[in-house]
């Protein structure tokens, strides 16, 4: 999963530079921050994460919903 680290240039109380790290959405070409983990891909030792825009949603009438 792609991630971005921004060096803030600010010093934390422990003397180290503060860094901000965010994971990006795994959907191809999406620059949004990932907010949901879809699950692990055990065989590849990876996990998939997506933003709110690319979160799979159940289709109406499927998945045990009552009509």
Q: What confidence tens digit (pLDDT) does each residue in 6-63 have?
A: 898 999 899 999 998 888 998 999 999 999 988 888 888 888 889 999 998 888 876 6
47 in a domain, yes or no?
A: yes
Decide: residue 32, CB within 10 A, 0-12 exposed, 13-18 middle, 19+ buried.
middle
Lookup: tokens for 26: 């795994």
Is 17 contained in some domain?
Answer: yes
Q: Is 8 helix (H, G, I), strand (E, B) or coil?
A: strand
Would residue 64 count as lying in a domain?
no
pTM above 0.75, yes or no: no
Looking at the 3D structure of the chain, how many domains does it have?
1
Is 33 among the domain residues?
yes
| Residues facing 21 on adjacent strands | 5
- What is the rounded CA–CA span in Å between residue 14 and residue 9? 14
57 close to 34: Cβ distance less than 8 angstroms: no
């Amino acid at each position: 999963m792609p991630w971005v680290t921004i060096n803030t240039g600010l010093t934390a109380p422990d003397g180290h530079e503060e860094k901000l790290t965010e994971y990006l959405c795994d959907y191809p070409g999406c620059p949004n921050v990932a907010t949901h983990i879809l699950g692990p891909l055990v065989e590849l030792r990876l996990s998939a994460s997506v933003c709110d825009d690319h979160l799979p949603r159940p289709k109406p009438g499927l998945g045990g919903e009552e009509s």
